[in-house]
Amino acid sequence: MAFDGNELLDLVVSDRLRKSSVHSETNELISSESDKGRVVNSAAFRRLQQKAQVFPLDENAAVRTRLTHSIEVSQVGRFLAQKVIEKLNLGGKSYENLAAFVNAVETSCLLHDIGNPPFGHLGEAAIRNWFRQHQENTNLRFFDGNPQGFRLACFLSGKDEYGLNLTATLLLSCIKYPWVQKSAKAAAPEKFGIFDYDYEKYKQACELVGWEEGKAFPLAKLMEAADDIAYCTSDLEDGLEKNVIQSYQLREELDWYEDDTNSPVDTFVKFKTDLIRVAVEEAAEEFVENIEKIGAGEEVKLIDDNKEAGGKIKSIKSFARKYIYSNEDVEKIELAGNSAIKGILGHFRHILEMDESRFECLLHGDYKKAKAHSLEFDMRVFNRLPKSYVKKYEFMKRSLKNSDGDERDARNHLVVDFISGMTDDFAIHTYQVLQGIRVR
């Protein structure tokens, strides 16, 4: 049977990997609302308020953080999901089905950046490069915020091994690349969405939804399109706010940009809202026209460079790379962030490399044995790790040992979980404390 709007709505389920104690969560709409509550009330989501979108450590509150960016993406995602419903003529379906579908797309957008380390893509590169220099057999050599985000959702957050215990639908909706790093599907080594250890959770989610492993999930395609639409215009707006770019440059570089020199701010707001509206329309059309291919897991780009809005978005991305992302002030802070992340990893290096018996001294707070092994300072470095993350390490270690895995994988993740969860300012602060530059 061909994949259609009915089957699309059937992908929205209330099932969770661990059964919820709330009986009403057999209802898809209530479950989707609960998902949203779990995300927005999580510490990982709150920390996005001090992770930069483009301009790290900025004092201007009008400039976006990962949190405000995620909220904007969620609004575009909600709009896009509603457009898909309209174009598929699904208005006759129950309110609960339609609202749950829209909620799932919206909440996946709130989650889309939750795994990003401090200093964004440069922070990812810093973690990758450090492990490439110091360890050979770990997929953290290809660390990326996408699999880290899935790990936060399904394991790292919360008190047990199920993380936020989100619905299976939402777990699948936040994975852009539904495969592990060693998969043949990975177009680039770091373009993967699931760490090896977390793949079992993905597999369970697929079983609950009735979705084939390795196929891009339709709702994740909508989340990805919403992010593309939102971030390009917001980065321009932040560039104008920071005076990194000027309106005349937009007029000169983007020949379709019409600027009222008497009111450049109002002009940009109108331009942004018009572009978002047209881009959502185009993306929804692409989704509906290609719904059978999407249902089959085929690669379909919802933002088409050959269409009006898609072509403008492509030009904006090129402009931002030329004038915003390469700005000297941005690069200086990113260089400092790179040093901070690599420096913190350097201080944990001995802990990552020591044999397991010595690490047990640190894990159990055995100061007498630690002193006997000359691990007094390693103990103090280890104590920087949050107890909640240490508990997750113990979950992971037990699981790896039951499957003949390597305990060192759990230890590596423990340290990277800690670092990737840091805000930009806390990463700098932690580095300064470990370096002895500051004492509190």
Q: What is the pLDDT of residues 11-64, one digit of tens each?
A: 999 999 998 876 556 789 999 999 999 999 999 999 999 998 888 777 788 888
Q: How far apart are CA 71 and CA 131, in angstroms?
A: 33
Confidence (pLDDT) at 170: 98
Percent of the chain beyond pLDDT 90? Answer: 71
- Cβ-contact 152, 420 below 8 angstroms: no
Confidence (pLDDT) at 377: 95
Stretch 268-279: mean pLDDT: 91
Q: What is the pLDDT of residues 145-180, one digit of tens each?
A: 999 999 999 999 988 999 999 999 999 999 999 999
Confidence (pLDDT) at 184: 61
Confidence (pLDDT) at 22: 65
**Which range, of 21-35, 117-131, 312-326, 330-344, averages the lowest pLDDT?**
21-35
pTM over 0.75: yes
Stretch 236-257: mean pLDDT: 84
Confidence (pLDDT) at 265: 64
Confidence (pLDDT) at 419: 97
Q: Which two tokens stand for residue 403?
A: 């499957």
Stretch 244-250: mean pLDDT: 85
Confidence (pLDDT) at 171: 98
Q: Which residues of 77-105 are buried (b: 16+ CB within 10 A; e: fewer)?
A: bbbbbbbbbebbebeeeeeebbbbbbbbb
List, in sequence order, every residue forming a beta bridge with 52; answer none if it has no partner: 65
Confidence (pLDDT) at 24: 57
Stretch 360-364: mean pLDDT: 94
Confidence (pLDDT) at 186: 59
Q: Which residue has the higher pLDDT, 265 or 251?
A: 251
Confidence (pLDDT) at 180: 92
Residue with tokens 């790292």: 156
CATH numbers and ranges of domains, the chain = 1-327 (1.10.3210.10), 328-435 (no CATH)
Cβ-Cβ contacts under 8 Å for 59 (sequence gap 6 or more): none
In a 3-state reduction of DSSP, which class is residue 52? strand
Q: How far apart are CA 51 and CA 65, in angstroms?
A: 6
212's enclosing H/E stretch is none
Mean pLDDT of the chain: 91
At 256, is the pLDDT very low, low, confident or very high (cuts 50, 70, 90)? Answer: confident
- Cβ-contact 98, 6 below 8 angstroms: no
DSSP letters along 405-417, please? --HHHHHHHHHHH
Q: Which residue has the higher pLDDT, 260 or 307?
A: 307
3-state SS of 106-152 is HHHHHHCCCCCCCCHHHHHHHHHHHHHHHCCCCHHHHCCHHHHHHHH
At 244, is the pLDDT very low, low, confident or very high (cuts 50, 70, 90)? Answer: confident
Model confidence at 207: pLDDT above 90: yes
Confidence (pLDDT) at 48: 94
Helix orientation angle between 308-323 and 218-241, rounded to the nearest 10 degrees: 50
Q: Which two tokens stand for residue 395?
A: 């979950």
Model confidence at 136: pLDDT above 90: no
Q: What is the pLDDT of residues 375-415, one digit of tens each?
A: 999 999 999 999 999 999 999 999 998 888 899 999 999 99
Determine the residue type at 104.
A
- Cβ-contact 199, 150 below 8 angstroms: no
- Residue 404: what are its φ and ψ, rounded to 5°? 60, 30
Confidence (pLDDT) at 327: 82
Q: Which residue has the higher pLDDT, 244 or 421?
A: 421
Confidence (pLDDT) at 60: 81
Q: What is the DSSP letter of 192?
A: -
The closest alpha carbon to 359, from 342, 340, 345, 373, belongs to 373
Confidence (pLDDT) at 389: 96
- Residue 363: what are its φ and ψ, rounded to 5°? -60, -40
